[in-house]
Amino acid sequence: MRCPFCGFEETQVKDSRPSEDNSAIRRRRFCPACGSRFTTFERVQLRELTVIKKDKSKTPFDRDKLQRSITIAVRKRPISSEQVELIVNSIQRQLEVSGESEIPSGQIGEMVMEALSGLDPVAYVRFASVYRDFREAKDFKAFISSLEAVAEAGPLEGKENVKDEN
């Protein structure tokens, strides 16, 4: 592993342990050239995933991009970084075990929406506003009205209603 501070290529592992949710190995490293210490994470990757965007272009799945978008949606909400990490791990694992190597971006967006809907309503609306490309205040109003209708309908009927409206 190359040192991020000086670029020396032969750093030493001083400590290894599983991450809190056992989805990665956390390694503390030491650079003998500059004396710096840093942490790396090693994750199992079951398959290479490719995201098919709305314009039909393809890009490699970027776990960090997924984490950033969720983090933006939950900013200043009572959601911990560990909860965000669990959502990202869950979505990535679901995608990897699905058997598909090419995943439509819409499928990933729906998975995030589902995870956020049960976690925090404000984060859910924030993510939806970007994911569904809200342009005007009436878009927010319509979306929130549909959420209120779902809440009044009850938990089982509500989930079906949200999917029917999209």
For the full predicted model, state whether its pTM sits above 0.75: no
For the segment 100-126, the average pLDDT, to the nearest whole number, is 94
User: pLDDT tens digits for 30-63?
Assistant: 999 999 999 998 877 667 899 999 999 999 999 9
Nearest one of 129, 149, 127, 130 to 138, comparing CA atoms: 129
The answer to whether residues 111 and 87 touch, using CB atoms and an 8 Å cutoff, is no
Please, how many CA atoms are within 13 Å of residue 69, restricted to the half-sphere of its CB? 18
φ/ψ of 7, rounded to 5, equals 85, 0
Q: pLDDT digits over 13-29, tens only?
A: 999 998 777 777 989 99
136: left (phi over 0), alpha (psi -120 to 50) or beta: beta
157 vs 139: which has the higher pLDDT: 139
**Residue-wise pLDDT tens digits, 60-84:** 999 999 999 999 999 999 999 989 9
- Percent of the chain scoring above 70 in pLDDT: 90
Mean pLDDT computed over every residue of the chain: 87
Mean pLDDT, rounded, for 80-106: 92
